[in-house]
Chain A
Amino acid sequence: NAGVTQTPKFRVLKTGQSMTLLCAQDMNHEYMYWYRQDPGMGLRLIHYSVGEGTTAKGEVPDGYNVSRLKKQNFLLGLESAAPSQTSVYFCASSLNTYNQPQHFGDGTRLSIL
């Protein structure tokens, strides 16, 4: 009964380093999302995907790239990490019907020094 799994749960990077966050869901959901959560800001959408092989920009896409090569996985990449990208990152997934809620992973806390 895994649902949405995010890897890793914590990471500390130095400015300029790169890394990839992995999101995996086992619910056969078509839609997947990456959000970031900052203090006092709520959750903001970075990128999303409406199906395998598709991605699109959300509200705050700059500095991030994503890929959805397999339906169950959605990867978020930081090519050159910056301190402004210090945040908690959440992945979510949902069915492609508008009345279905999004299911969230447990988040990844990322610190950029």
Chain B
Amino acid sequence: AQTVTQSQPEMSVQEAETVTLSCTYDTSESDYYLFWYKQPPSRQMILVIRQEAYKQQNATENRFSVNFQKAAKSFSLKISDSQLGDAAMYFCAYRSARLNSGGSNYKLTFGKGTLLTVNP
């Protein structure tokens, strides 16, 4: 079974600075997807960025980028020019890309989350 570990329960960053959130995962599969979701106090789960394991190039979405190290099974999220609106709980998640008849591989396995505080 896959596991996802976020070793930083809480992080803080000054507004306009850069912060990196860590995520490691354990899997025996070679093809999979990794996601970062943001959960603000409103409780919504918002997709921030995703990475396909077969792609060597790190994904980027505006101020958000990842450092994907497949051999090390590491998937960190970098937030540049942090804004007050970035304050939220961030979850790393894993999903298999291997098709099975039951569909169970389509589920997301989540880490426990990192609470990010942005200080003005």
Given A88-B43, A98-B105, A106-B42, A43-B110 contact (CB < 8 Å)? yes
Q: How far apart are B92's CB and chain A's nearest CB, in angstroms?
A: 9
| Chain A residues closer than 8 Å to B47, beta-carbon distance | 101, 103
A74 interface contact, C-beta 8 A = no
Of A45, A90, A103, the contact of B107 (CB 8 Å cutoff)? A45
Scoring A residues 81 to 113 as 1 if CB is less than 8 Å from chain B, else 0, what string do you get?
000000010101010101101111011000000
- B39 CB → nearest A CB, Å: 9
User: Which of B52, B104, B106 has the most chain A CB within a 10 Å cutoff?
Assistant: B106
B112 touches A40 (CB 8 A): yes
Q: Is the CB of A98 within 8 A of B112?
A: no
Q: In the complex, which residues 31-79 of chain A have their Cβ closer than 8 Å to any Cβ of chain B?
A: 31, 33, 40-45, 48, 50, 56, 58
Q: Are B108 and A102 in contact (CB under 8 A)?
A: yes
Q: Is B64 an interface residue (CB 8 A)?
A: no
- What secondary structure prevails in chain A residues at the interface with B? strand
> What is the minimal beta-carbon distance from B34 to any residue of chain A, in angstroms?
11
Known contacts A104-B44, A104-B45, A106-B43; is-contact A99 B110 (Cβ 8 Å): no
**Closest chain B residue, CB of each to CB of A41:** B112
- Which A residues are CB-close (under 8 A) to B44? 104, 106-107
Please report the C-alpha to C-alpha distance between residue A32 and residue B35 in the assembled complex, in whole angstroms: 18
Tell me the B45-85 residues at the A interface (CB within 8 Å).
45, 47, 50, 52
Which one of B45, B97, B107, B113 contacts A58 once the chains associate, using CB atoms below 8 Å?
B107
Which residues of B are in contact with A by a Cβ distance under 8 Å?
A: 4, 9, 33, 35, 37, 42-45, 47, 50, 52, 91, 95-97, 99, 102-108, 110-113
Query: Which A residues contact B (CB, under 8 angstroms)?
Result: 31, 33, 40-45, 48, 50, 56, 58, 88, 90, 92, 94, 96, 98-99, 101-104, 106-107
Other 18 A-B pairs with CB < 8 A, given A56-B103, A58-B107, A104-B37: A31-B103, A31-B106, A41-B112, A42-B111, A42-B112, A42-B113, A43-B45, A43-B110, A48-B103, A50-B106, A88-B43, A92-B45, A92-B108, A98-B99, A98-B106, A99-B33, A101-B35, A106-B43
